[in-house]
Structure 1
Amino acid sequence: MACRSGGRGRGGSALDTEPARTAARRPLISLDGEAVLAAADVAGAWRLAGEYRVLRAIVEGAAAGMAVLDTELRYLYVNPHMARMNGLPAEAHLGRTLTDVLPGVYRSDTVLRRVLADGKPRQLIGRGRTLADSPYRHREWRSTYHRLEDRDGRVLGIVGIGLDVSGPRQDLRALKRSHRRLDLLDTATPKIGTTADLQLTCQELADAVVPGLADAAVVALRPGDAVPERRPPAGVLRLRRMALAAAPALRQAMRKAALPGTLVDYQPGSAIQQCLESGRPWLRNRISPPEWRALAAQPELADAYMGARVHSMLVVPLSVAGADGPFLGTLTLARAHDSPPFTRDDADITRELAARASSALERARRFSHEHAMALELQRSLLTPPGILHPGMETAARYLPADDRALIGGDWYDAIALPEGRILLVIGDVMGHGVEAAVAMSHYRSSLRALAYAGLAPAVILKHADRLVAESGFERVATCLLALVDPKTSQVTYANAGHLPPLGLCPAGSAVQGPIPVGPPLGTGMGTYRAHQAPLPEGGVLLLYTDGLVERRDEDITTSLERLRGVRLPADGPLETFLDDVLAAVKGDGQEDDIALLVARLNVCG
């Protein structure tokens, strides 16, 4: 074979010389002394050498770790990239197993022996830490292993090709955590704050994290301003436990440690105090008995937690920007028995859920305060009529709705006037809450003042309508006046958009006369006409608000017909009669507050 002198042609090499050709005719000997190749010419040797150089360049320049293992899984070869991944020179691997070289890395040798046994390639994930520097605390490698055989099918070992997948795997775990967080938040958030009831909102929050995030959860809030209990000692934090949720196995034990409704004083250094002082989640795992003594509010609580085998605790603050105080309270999560410890990711999820729930809790807290004020104002004004005239009995009843958001503007009144007359009043202010209760008080005072001036019912309504409109008061109200003269058994009515009264007789008949109806009070343009009718002989006169007869799923005429069917007992107290009315008409789903006022002539008076 000719070649250019002094150089290497496209097909040439350093082997293309006479000595080389002579050597090429000699057999190449393998490591065990057996002849593996007999070259007839230099071209064959040159080709093999060239292929070897190419393959070696590929293997040693690859951006993947490559290793050859013998049948005992000892390293025969590692490429430079594998050496860099492991943080050891290639020579330090040879003749040793993975456990010998890197005891901090786990790989299933059982799977590798299956590759040796059946020749089927397999993939493995290795995990652990090597001696090489890495930004990842835990490293992972995905490797593929193939069996090596000689021409006779004899198994020589395994070749493995691996990639460091620590970054992608960490990103995948972060993505899964993000999805888990979003799933939990999206599932739990709509279930919190479904009503304006503070107690129920707290329970919804506790239920939202059990069992998804914890084995038990406790919601505790600072007591409201109206709580009459004595102040806690200096440095002591007092919270009221509002709600508890726990897995069935922990429920009884946790109720001993966190009974809802109880006030708990937290000493300085307790977990709750530390959380609220820092404004950040407080997390502690594998809590020892001495730590429980220091972290629990009282020694008996520490005993209860240890008795329930609680080993980890996470406390997050409940706070809202712009709230009256620095915090609303805390959400405490506990894990017990075989549950895993809390992680920082758990803390992040819980903190975000608590932030979302805090808005609902603040709304419920404000409403509870407003509701208490409205109800107290309303009840202070709606006192029982008492004995107004020896010839007439009266009784009244006020029932707030089942939905506490509907406390507000229903009212009744009974006013003793000169010459033995009595003015019965029933009314309903538009809207609910403190504003409606205040408006009710305004209407009630105005009507009383006009009645004491000796005006007729229709004139009273006319003046009240204009007074309210001119004062700029925006809440209109319906109102029915009934001026009763016990001497004549006559009643003079005037109606401002209200439901008509009902007269019931002992014989079972009901009278609901055609009383002229004017516009509600507060428009400033109302004109009202009086209507006179006798009191039912031996019967009662019933005035009521629309909460008694209005239902979303029922026509009001059906409810009024049910009301007219109420039987009046021949005698007995009027309070019993009101009980009968409510039992017959109110039903189970009261949707609005109800005011009732009943009057009966006393034949013995």
Structure 2
Amino acid sequence: MTTRNLTCATTAGLSRAVRALAREHALDPEVRGRLVLSAAEAAGAALRAGRETGLEWAYDPGAGLLTVVLRTPGDTGPAAELPMAPDAVTEDEVVWRLPAGPPVDDAEEAPGDDALAAEELRVVLAAADALTAEHRRLKDELEETNSGVLALYVQLDERDKQLRTAHGQTLRELEDALRPPLIEADGLELAVHYEPAGTDAPTGGDLYDWFVLPDGTVHITIVDALGHGVTSTRSALNVTHAVRTLALEGHRLQSIVARTDEILYPFDRAVMATVLLARIDPVTGELWLANGSHPPALLLRRDGTARYLEARGRGIGFPLPGSETPLTERLAPGDLLLLYTDGLTESRRDPIEGERRLIEAAHKHLQSPIEEVPGAIAEDMHTVILHPDDTLALAVRLTGQ
């Protein structure tokens, strides 16, 4: 492998030298043009500053590679943006390695520099003309198929609507299957309303459970699991099932939240849920509440006085989960107890303002039939929704009968 080199003092001289060696090794005119432009740009700053540029090239017949080295003392120019990307760049060298043929000695028949430059220009213009023709062809095809594409979009949109409707119906059926049926307990009226954050995912992390214990008291569980959709539904179901099991086994109300966390931790370490537990004796009206980071229940007396029942505790998945001593209260005939999730009071992003409005809405519907109360209160609370969230409202009224 023979190495050749020369020194150039001008951009024109460097371009002629690179063009000549490229033609000598039969490089394609397009490749040759890119190499000439790249060398001129890489050495431009040095040549304009009056510094000579070295050009060295060598051909490896075994590998069929032509190595071109451009030495630009102190400045290699914008090597990263050259028309032909270099194979190596140092502080004062730019190196290209190109597939090439062996050198051809036809000095007498070799075209001049102007002729070679014109050939390179013709190749560039031919490529541009080909791109223009291809662009015109593609544009014509696009115009021809545009109406068909629009029709297809209309069909796809209609199909999407049909799928969304079917999907929503399936999820609503799933939601109905997940929620326990209305229980019958002499002396109590119960009703519930659930509203998902989005119609495309009617299931969420807001669930409830109610059942009658062997001693005749009614147990109610309200759960709000972190997140939305099916994943949060699974977490909420795990919580309600664990609470039901513990309640039926006779565990004390204040121990159930902490025990539920212990049970679920090995199986669902990601679960985070707030919990509100209520026990009501339909005969005496006695009420017990245990809380785990959940919004307080609202008690609205028959005479119109209202009070939030604050019970202390931390939820499932929270640090130090569990409930303190249950809050006790006694319901009188006609009193209304409202259990809910934060989607009811925080739709306007202000929980304090939401709690005030909830009292007003409960007053408005205090005497309404129990089956209308939760939905009517939710409708009043959601006249403006700045923060959409799953919403659950459960109403209990002591009848005294």
* TM-score normalized with structure 1 length: 0.40
- Answering whether residue 360 of structure 2 is matched by residue 560 of structure 1, we say no
Partner Cα separation in structure 1 for residue 208 and residue 388 of structure 2: 19
Secondary structure of 1:542's counterpart equals strand
Residue identity matched to 1:382: R
The equivalent position to 1:492 in structure 2, one of 273, 288, 298, is 288
In the alignment, the residues of structure 2 paired with residue 462 and residue 543 of structure 1 have an alpha-carbon distance, to the nearest angstrom, of: 21
In structure 1, the gaps of 5 or more residues are 1-164, 185-208, 221-240, 245-257, 262-363
Give the direction of change, closer, same or farther, for the CA distance of 1:514–1:444 in structure 2 (3 Å limit). closer
Residue by residue over 1:551-598, the C-alpha shift from the partner in whole angstroms, topping out at 9 and shown as x without a partner, is 3x5311111111111225464421221232012102253712212211
- Which residue matches 1:218? 152
Q: CA deviation at 1:426?
A: 0.8
Question: 1:421 deviation in Å?
Answer: 0.8
Task: Report the residue type matching 1:171 in the other structure.
Answer: L
TM-score of the superposed pair, with normalisation by structure 2: 0.59
* Aligned 8 A contact 1:491 1:534 in 2: yes
Structure 1 counterpart of 2:323: 528
Change (3 A) 1:579 1:535: same
Give the distance between the partners of 1:172 and 1:576, measured in 2 at CA: 70
Distance 1:405 1:487, change over 3 A: closer
Structure 2 unmatched ranges of 5 or more: 1-124
Post-superposition offset of 1:446:
0.9
Amino acid paired to 2:395: V
Give the partner amino acid of 2:350.
D
Q: Which has the higher contact order (CA 8 A, sep 6+)?
A: 2
Structure 2 Cα separation of the partners of residues 550 and 177 of structure 1? 58
Report the Cα distance in structure 2 between the residues aligned to 1:557 and 1:435, rounded to whole angstroms: 29
Question: One-letter code of the match for 1:468?
Answer: L
Q: Which residue of 2 is the match for residue 234 of structure 1?
A: none
Superposition deviation, residue 532 in structure 1: 0.9
Contact 1:374–1:433 (CA<8 Å) still a contact in 2? Answer: no
Distance in 2, matches of 1:456 and 1:167, equals: 84
- Whether the aligned pair in 2 keeps the contact of 1:466 and 1:524 (CA below 8 Å) is no
1:524 Cα shift?
7.5
> Which one of the candidate residues 376, 380, 387 is aligned to 2:177?
380
CA separation of 1:520 and 1:173: change in aligned 2, threshold 3 A: farther
- Name the SS for the 2:152 alignment partner: strand
Equivalent-residue separation in structure 2 for 1:408 and 1:480 (angstroms): 17
Does the Cα contact within 8 Å between 2:343 and 2:389 map onto a contact in 1?
yes
1:390 aligns with 2:324: no
Match of 1:172 in 2: 132
Match of 1:74 in 2: none
Partner of 1:578: 374
Q: Is contact 1:547-1:594 (8 Å) kept? A: yes
User: Where does residue 157 of structure 2 map in the other structure?
Assistant: 243
The SS at the match of 1:418 is coil
Matched residue type, 2:176? R
Q: What RMSD over aligned residues (CA atoms) do the two structures have, in Å? A: 3.6
**Counterpart residue identity of residue 561, structure 1:** R
What's the CA shift for 1:472? 3.9
1:55-454 → structure 2 map (5 Å cutoff): 168-172=128-132, 174=134, 214=148, 216-219=150-153, 242-243=156-157, 261=162, 375-387=172-184, 389-405=185-201, 407-454=203-250
User: In the aligned structure 2, how far is the partner of 1:544 from the partner of 1:416?
Assistant: 20
1:519 aligns with 2:314: yes
CA distance in 2, matches of 1:454, 1:405: 36
Matched with 1:51 is none
Report if aligned partners of 2:336, 2:366 keep a CA contact under 8 Å in 1. Answer: no
4+ runs deviating over 6 angstroms: 176-181
Q: How far apart are the structure 1 equivalents of 2:264 and 2:170?
A: 23
